[in-house]
């Protein structure tokens, strides 16, 4: 075959990569990395094959050297099997090309309004009230300057930053702080928990871009991030800080939204005082959080029409006031009025920035609630419905203020036409409750993501929908948020005081999002450095300017929110720190393969019929807790499977890519490792019987595939396994419950781990040997499956520093004692459970 020119190679590379090819940079690989090939034997495409031959290519094409440099930096991991895409169709949210009719577009718009835009839609209830709370309005120029600030804050933050930029930083449709973090961790090994496998990047949910020669900056940043533990810790600290602010935001949002809506009663009924408003608000909050357990399966469609009516009310009231009081306020679209505003009253204008920011509240919730809708649907709904209605609402309130300078509080309700007052109050209260409910649901999603990535203690999670896997309810967090909301309402008792705390929470999240999106721009999107600097300078500078204003009023009481967020941050950091130490200690103390080989195939005890599923957190090696089982139990099961439930940083792992099997020790030991991989949005809906059946079927497919590989690769037995702890017959094959089997291309023998007799026994993969092993599996399954669960606790050594002893022996121990136990999370039946406790000194 004639060698192909560089241009042809480039075209084929582009074509195959877009269809099914995946490439990774080999620089960060180590001796433990796994090599994965396709089901068809990993044959290269013609382009890749010709590139590997090197010298036969023509030198006449100017692009050849460029292609050769590209090939030297990239390693092909193998084309995806077609069945991957077929199975992926069963996962909600993977459909990319859907045809929408007019009716479906209307339904989608209503759902988007109900779930995504409730928070930002209720901001006109309180924005001007908080802005003009600190000082009286003396001239209409003050109103025009404040309105101009609000207009350009809406345009810059919710519209330009979030709608046009940040929404594209979603993780396969998932939004929020931890979705950004998982996206970074997937493209660079930035996670502090060392349980990532190279095979994780071959899950079809991973969408790794092909780095080009022109974008060396992205590779350098990736290398720097992977090699610097300080940068990893700093990144994690930023994410935890942002998450603590999100939870704090979830406390302030219901209090602020509901109280501002209930304040309308003070306008309609003069006898209503502030204390009665607080009590009514508390009653609404109790009802709101009590109903949260019923889930949000149909909340979007059910409350979408109510939000649509609310936005129509905003626009209608705005148009009414513009016609009644004149359209002079349209001059505020000229940004020069912002300059005049600060020139006339620099101190007062700076203090009003905290209130001005409230017009952008809900921007982060808009990103966090992205999981049920496409980016374009959210963008179109915001641009053509939400933003125009908000602008009309603020313009109308400003027109009212220009003619009523002495009425700077309850502006929204005072500007309502008298005939429509009570219906609008009712709709405003309903919209506030909807916004609060959507924000609480976003908090639940954030907590689940943080838990899956080892950054939050395990809590009981109830899935409220069979159709949508992301709709969950966390009872403990729900009641915690309720108590916190009631405390904030009782302590502050006014939307003006709560408003300043609200601004602190919102800005904390916004700044962290800006930093994380900047990293994504550099590392993943590979945007021009000038554009990245413009994005960072504009938005981080703007948010820091706003933040200086709200911090200036922190002494008024909003410091309580900072303390609240700091406590949440410490809880998450301590949990992550303790989890990391525990995992690293288990890795160091895992059993050596030499010890198991000395014990023999009976493991120094009696092997009783049956299957033992030993749950552990190690993705490699034999956990130390297994030695405790050997010394504690009078007998051990004839077949041992080390099951590791691993949460990988992707939203969903397709079912056919769920399990990764490997053999531990020679064949006659009957020991296997199974890594069950779940995304942070995955739901473990399998009951015990279904999970066992799926596990055994996958194991049988692995054994069959291993026998086939042995017969095809019998002349390559001198190759070694990449993992030094794995014994002579270790092998890696990815199997799926649908029957799809994918070789990981790793040799199946390591002669140095066993003697010749054991090696010969493990290599006799003829037909009878295969049938015997499958029969052995069936008999073991019929004898019963027992779950072996080890409880590993950690304690600080006596010579450790006092702070480490305090954190590990008291704080982390308290969290572990009171969080949800692993047995409950795994739904292990108590009748078939055996537990052993073990303590590690760290």
Q: Supply the DSSP symbol for 622.
A: B
pLDDT at 135 over 90: no
Check residues 78 and 606 and name the one with the higher pLDDT.
606
Tell me the domains of the chain and their CATH numbers.
111-194+211-580 (1.20.1740.10), 590-710+774-841 (no CATH)
pLDDT tens by residue, 210-249: 545 446 778 888 888 888 888 888 999 999 999 999 999 8
Look at residue 295 in the predicted model and tell me its pLDDT.
61
The backbone region for 441, taken as left when phi is positive above 0, alpha when psi lies in -120 to 50, beta otherwise, is alpha
Look at residue 743 in the predicted model and tell me its pLDDT.
41
pLDDT tens by residue, 645-665: 877 767 777 777 777 888 888
pLDDT at 19 over 70: no
pLDDT tens by residue, 569-609: 999 999 999 988 988 888 888 888 888 888 888 888 899 99
- pLDDT average, residue stretch 546-561: 82
Task: Say which range, 654-668, 669-683, 715-729, 790-804, has the weakest mean pLDDT.
Answer: 715-729
Q: The dihedral of CA 281, 286, 289, 290: what is its sign?
A: negative
- pLDDT average, residue stretch 805-821: 87
3-class SS at 645?
Answer: strand
Which residues on adjacent β-strands are paired with residue 836? 790
Please, which pLDDT band fits residue 65 given cuts at 50, 70 and 90? very low
Tokens of 332: 């505020």
Give me the residue label for tokens 């908080």: 130
pLDDT at 191 over 80: no
Look at residue 469 in the predicted model and tell me its pLDDT.
56
Look at residue 342 in the predicted model and tell me its pLDDT.
92
pLDDT at 698 over 80: yes
Other Cβ atoms closer than 10 A to 212: 15
Q: For residue 146, which of 417, 399, 320 has the smallest C-alpha distance?
A: 399
Look at residue 118 in the predicted model and tell me its pLDDT.
82
Please, which pLDDT band fits residue 617 given cuts at 50, 70 and 90? confident
- pLDDT average, residue stretch 343-362: 89
Look at residue 554 in the predicted model and tell me its pLDDT.
75
pLDDT tens by residue, 618-647: 777 888 888 888 888 888 999 999 988 877
The phi and psi torsions of 641 (rounded to 5 degrees) equal -125, 115
Look at residue 567 in the predicted model and tell me its pLDDT.
94
Look at residue 108 in the predicted model and tell me its pLDDT.
67
Query: H/E/C letters for each residue in 657-706?
Result: HCEEEEEECCHHHCEEEEEEEEECCCCCCCCHHHHHHHHHHHHHHHHHHH
The phi and psi torsions of 71 (rounded to 5 degrees) equal -65, -35
Please, which pLDDT band fits residue 103 given cuts at 50, 70 and 90? low
Check residues 842 and 685 and name the one with the higher pLDDT.
842
pLDDT at 76 over 60: no
Please, which pLDDT band fits residue 417 given cuts at 50, 70 and 90? very high
Task: Say which range, 12-26, 538-552, 586-600, 812-826, has the weakest mean pLDDT.
Answer: 12-26
Cα–Cα dist 452/193, whole Å:
12
pLDDT tens by residue, 511-545: 999 999 999 998 888 888 899 999 999 999 999 99
Please, which pLDDT band fits residue 201 given cuts at 50, 70 and 90? low
Look at residue 42 in the predicted model and tell me its pLDDT.
35
Please, which pLDDT band fits residue 304 given cuts at 50, 70 and 90? confident
Look at residue 682 in the predicted model and tell me its pLDDT.
72
Look at residue 33 in the predicted model and tell me its pLDDT.
37
Look at residue 690 in the predicted model and tell me its pLDDT.
78
Task: Say which range, 357-361, 476-480, 685-689, 793-797, has the weakest mean pLDDT.
Answer: 685-689
Task: Say which range, 17-21, 107-111, 153-157, has the weakest mean pLDDT.
Answer: 17-21
pLDDT at 268 over 60: yes
Please, which pLDDT band fits residue 720 given cuts at 50, 70 and 90? very low
Look at residue 627 in the predicted model and tell me its pLDDT.
86
Please, which pLDDT band fits residue 684 given cuts at 50, 70 and 90? low
Please, which pLDDT band fits residue 330 given cuts at 50, 70 and 90? very high
* Most confident segment among 25-39, 310-324, 436-450: 310-324
- pLDDT average, residue stretch 322-337: 93
Look at residue 824 in the predicted model and tell me its pLDDT.
58
3-class SS at 61?
Answer: coil
Look at residue 768 in the predicted model and tell me its pLDDT.
73
3-class SS at 624?
Answer: coil
Cα–Cα dist 414/546, whole Å:
28
Look at residue 204 in the predicted model and tell me its pLDDT.
56
pTM, two decimals, is: 0.74
- pLDDT average, residue stretch 403-432: 90
Please answer whether residues 437 and 448 qualify as being in contact, where contact means their C-beta atoms are separated by less than 8 angstroms.
no
Look at residue 196 in the predicted model and tell me its pLDDT.
56
Alpha helices in 74-101, H assignment, sequence order: 82-88
Task: Say which range, 58-62, 586-590, 711-715, has the weakest mean pLDDT.
Answer: 58-62
* Share above pLDDT 70 across residues of the chain, in percent, rounded to a whole number: 73
Q: Supply the DSSP symbol for 800.
A: S
Which residues on adjacent β-strands are paired with residue 301? none
Look at residue 94 in the predicted model and tell me its pLDDT.
34
Residues 6+ positions from 809 with CB-CB distance below 8 Å: 795, 796
Look at residue 212 in the predicted model and tell me its pLDDT.
55
Task: Say which range, 301-305, 513-517, 716-720, has the weakest mean pLDDT.
Answer: 716-720
Look at residue 517 in the predicted model and tell me its pLDDT.
94
Please, which pLDDT band fits residue 95 given cuts at 50, 70 and 90? very low
Look at residue 467 in the predicted model and tell me its pLDDT.
56
Look at residue 817 in the predicted model and tell me its pLDDT.
85
Mean pLDDT rounded to a whole number for the chain: 76
Look at residue 70 in the predicted model and tell me its pLDDT.
43
Cα–Cα dist 317/389, whole Å:
10
Other Cβ atoms closer than 10 A to 476: 15
Other Cβ atoms closer than 10 A to 802: 8
Burial class (CB in 10 A: 0-12, 13-18, 19+), 568: buried
Cα–Cα dist 628/306, whole Å:
60
Look at residue 16 in the predicted model and tell me its pLDDT.
32
CA 732 to chain centre: 28
């Amino acid at each position: 075959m004639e060698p192909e020119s560089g241009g042809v190679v480039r075209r084929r590379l582009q074509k195959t990569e877009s269809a099914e090819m995946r490439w990774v940079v080999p620089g960060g690989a180590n001796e433990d990395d796994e090599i994965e090939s396709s089901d068809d034997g990993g044959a290269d495409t013609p382009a890749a094959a010709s590139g590997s031959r090197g010298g036969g290519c023509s030198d006449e094409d100017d692009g050849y050297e460029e292609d050769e440099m590209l090939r030297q930096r990239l390693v092909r991991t193998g084309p995806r099997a077609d069945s991957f895409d077929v199975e992926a169709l069963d996962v909600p949210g993977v459909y990319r090309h859907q045809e929408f009719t007019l009716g479906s577009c209307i339904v989608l718009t209503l759902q988007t309004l109900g779930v995504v835009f409730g928070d930002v839609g209720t901001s006109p209830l309180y924005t001007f009230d908080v802005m003009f709370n600190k000082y009286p309005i003396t001239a209409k120029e003050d109103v025009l300057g404040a309105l101009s600030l609000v207009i350009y804050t809406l345009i810059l933050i919710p519209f330009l930053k979030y709608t046009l930029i940040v929404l594209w930083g979603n993780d396969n449709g998932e939004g929020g702080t931890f979705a950004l973090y998982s996206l970074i961790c997937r493209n660079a090994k930035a996670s502090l928990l060392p349980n990532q496998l190279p095979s994780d990047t071959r899950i079809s949910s991973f969408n790794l871009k092909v780095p080009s020669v022109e974008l060396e900056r992205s590779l350098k940043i990736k290398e720097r991030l992977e090699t610097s533990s300080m940068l990893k810790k700093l990144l994690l600290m930023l994410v935890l800080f942002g998450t603590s602010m999100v939870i704090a935001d979830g406390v302030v949002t219901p209090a602020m939204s509901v109280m501002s809506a209930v304040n309308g009663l003070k306008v309609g009924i003069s006898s209503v005082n502030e204390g009665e408003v607080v009590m009514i608000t508390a009653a609404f909050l109790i009802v709101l959080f009590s109903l949260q357990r019923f889930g949000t399966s149909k909340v979007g469609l059910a409350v979408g029409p109510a939000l649509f009516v609310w936005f129509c009310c905003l626009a209608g009231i705005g148009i009414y006031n513009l016609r009644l009081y004149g359209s002079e306020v349209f001059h505020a679209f000229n940004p020069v009025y912002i300059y005049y505003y600060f020139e006339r009253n620099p101190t007062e204008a700076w203090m009003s920035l905290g209130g001005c920011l409230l017009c952008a509240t809900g921007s982060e919730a808009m990103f966090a609630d992205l999981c049920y809708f496409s980016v374009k649907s959210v963008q179109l709904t915001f641009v053509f419905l939400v933003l125009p209605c908000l602008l009309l609402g603020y313009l109308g309130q400003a027109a009212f203020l220009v003619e009523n300078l002495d009425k700077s509080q309850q502006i929204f309700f005072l500007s309502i036409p008298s005939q429509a007052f009570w219906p609008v109050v009712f709709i405003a209260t309903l919209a506030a409750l909807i916004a609060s409910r959507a924000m609480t649901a976003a908090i639940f999603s954030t907590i689940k993501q943080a838990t899956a990535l080892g950054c939050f203690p395990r809590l009981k999670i109830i899935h409220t929908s069979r159709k949508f896997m992301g709709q969950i309810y966390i009872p403990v967090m729900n009641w915690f948020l309720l108590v916190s909301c009631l405390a904030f309402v009782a302590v502050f008792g006014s939307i003006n005081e709560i408003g300043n705390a609200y601004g602190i929470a919102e800005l904390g999240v916004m700044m962290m999002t800006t930093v994380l999106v900047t990293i994504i721009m550099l590392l993943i999107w590979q945007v021009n450095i000038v554009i990245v600097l413009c994005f960072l300078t504009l938005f981080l500078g703007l948010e820091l300017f706003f933040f200086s204003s709200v911090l200036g009023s922190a002494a008024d009481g909003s410091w309580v929110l900072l303390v609240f967020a700091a406590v949440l941050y410490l809880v998450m950091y301590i949990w992550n720190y303790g989890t990391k130490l525990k995992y690293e200690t288990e890795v160091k103390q895992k059993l050596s393969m030499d010890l198991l080989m000395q014990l023999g195939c009976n493991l120094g005890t009696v092997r009783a019929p049956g299957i033992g599923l030993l749950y552990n957190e190690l993705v490699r090696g034999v956990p130390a807790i297994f030695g405790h089982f050997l010394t504690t139990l009078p007998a051990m099961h004839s077949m041992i499977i080390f099951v590791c439930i691993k949460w990988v940083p992707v939203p969903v792992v397709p079912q056919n890519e769920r399990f990764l099997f490997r053999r531990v020790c020679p064949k006659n030991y009957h020991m296997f490792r199974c890594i069950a991989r779940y995304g942070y949005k995955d739901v473990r809906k399998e009951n015990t019987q279904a999970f066992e059946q799926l596990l055994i079927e996958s194991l049988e497919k692995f054994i069959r595939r291993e026998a086939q590989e042995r017969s095809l690769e019998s002349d390559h037995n001198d190759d070694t396994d990449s993992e030094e702890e794995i014994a002579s017959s270790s092998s890696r094959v990815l199997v799926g419950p649908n029957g799809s089997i994918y070789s990981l291309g790793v040799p199946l023998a390591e002669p140095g781990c066993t003697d010749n007799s054991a090696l010969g026994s493990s290599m006799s993969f003829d037909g009878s040997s295969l049938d015997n092993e499958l029969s052995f599996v069936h008999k073991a399954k019929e004898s019963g499956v027992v779950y072996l669960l080890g409880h590993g606790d950690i304690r600080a050594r006596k010579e450790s520093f006092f702070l480490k002893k305090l954190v590990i022996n008291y704080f982390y121990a308290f969290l572990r004692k009171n969080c949800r136990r692993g047995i409950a999370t795994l739904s292990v039946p108590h009748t078939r459970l055996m537990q052993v406790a073990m303590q590690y000194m760290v």
